[in-house]
Amino acid sequence: MEAAGIRAEEIDALYDWEENAGIPETGNHLRITESYTCKNLCELAKVSDAEVLLRYGKDFYQGYPVLTHKKYGKGHVYYVAADMEAAFYEDFLGRAAEEAGVKMPLTFIPEGISVTTRENEDTEYLFIQNFGEKTETVSVPGDYEVLYGSTDENMAPLATRILKRKK
């Protein structure tokens, strides 16, 4: 795991009633300040030359890294060593995307909704699909023109919308 700057040593499966927490390291470069719950799987890893962003908060895992970062080549490697709660992934991935300069096409994407973009020199296309089993509300900025699908914010299961806008 040279690229990640860590070495995984052991993985532990937790009982259904067990959980741990990822506690942020003060001054981490992504400015994560929240603690997050982890369940199911917790990996123990040794850090060689990575920055630790979160550490386990209790039990024999305490102090081991949960989230690490290392610059590698022209990019960044992040390693998540546990099965974290959904709020963690929303926060972490949003911060990592911002760091990388990735533009989010929508401000909020509900669970089960897939959003992809395609673009050429002058037009951006937005494909929104509901792969979930329930209707979801998906707000779209007003500068998009609907090419396919409903203009209503509510998307039924298996619904698809295709939108476009000029750059």
Residue 144 tokens read as 């998009």
Alpha carbon 29 to chain centroid, angstroms: 16
Question: Would you state the pLDDT for residue 120?
Answer: 96
Please name each of the domains of the chain with its CATH number: 6-100 (3.40.50.880), 113-166 (2.60.40.1180)
Per mean pLDDT, which range of 4-8, 91-95, 105-109, 128-132 is the poorest?
105-109
Pairwise CA distance, residues 103 & 15, whole Å: 39
- pLDDT tens readout for residues 131-163: 999 999 998 878 899 999 988 899 999 999 999
Nearest to 100 by CA among 46, 166, 30: 30
Predicted confidence (pLDDT) at residue 59 exceeds the cutoff of 80: yes
Phi-psi region of 145 (alpha: psi -120 to 50; beta: other; left: phi over 0): beta
Question: Would you state the pLDDT for residue 141?
Answer: 79
Question: Would you state the pLDDT for residue 91?
Answer: 93
Residues in the chain: 167
Give this prediction's pTM: 0.76
Sorting pLDDT into bands at 50, 70 and 90, what band is 87? very high
Predicted confidence (pLDDT) at residue 85 exceeds the cutoff of 80: yes
Longest CA–CA separation in the chain, Å: 55
Handedness of CA 134, 139, 142, 143 (dihedral sign): negative
Predicted confidence (pLDDT) at residue 105 exceeds the cutoff of 90: no
SS3 content of the chain, % helix, strand, coil (to 5): 10, 45, 45
Nearest to 51 by CA among 102, 104, 112, 4: 4
- pLDDT tens readout for residues 33-51: 999 999 999 999 999 999 9
Q: Name the one residue in this structure whose structure tokens are 């806008």.
A: 165
Pairwise CA distance, residues 31 & 17, whole Å: 30
